[in-house]
Amino acid sequence: MKYAHDEGVVTDGMVPVCWPVTYASLGGRHFLSKGMILDVTPAGLHVAGTVPVEIGMRLHLWGNPPAKPEPIDIRATVVWVEGHEFRLDFQSLEVSDRQWLIGFLAEAQSQLLLPQAA
């Protein structure tokens, strides 16, 4: 299912965002880096980062989405990589972060379904 959006097309529940994030490895290759969350879904994130990652890596991410009053704390696994962009599936999300994300996605999807002003 596709929805029209000012910045492109939203597919399968992906909501385009532009949120700065810090991420670090939870495995053997230790690093700390900055990136940008490009879209979010109920299952995970699409991130553009400055340090390359590999499929299967576990990452710890944290940041302050502009629409959220407190920082978000995420543990996720890399499931897709292309250059410095990668997709993550959530491993763990605090209950309050998950509830906020569900509300954010529901609001974003409802806004996308509203008729566009002519």
Helical segments of the chain, H only: 95-113
Instruction: Please enumerate in sequence order all residues whose Cβ is within 8 A of that of 56, keeping only pairs 6 or more positions apart, or say none.
Output: 77, 78
In this prediction, the residues of the chain whose per-residue pLDDT falls under 70 are: 1-12, 112-118
- pLDDT for position 103: 92
- pLDDT for position 80: 97
- pLDDT for position 30: 87
- pLDDT for position 114: 55
User: Where do the domains of the chain lie?
Assistant: 2-111
- Quote the pTM value: 0.81
Instruction: Please enumerate in sequence order all residues whose Cβ is within 8 A of that of 73, keeping only pairs 6 or more positions apart, or say none.
Output: 60, 61, 62, 93, 94, 97
- The architecture in CATH of the region 2-111 reads Beta Barrel (2.40)
Residue 53 CB: number of other CB atoms within 10 A?
Answer: 22
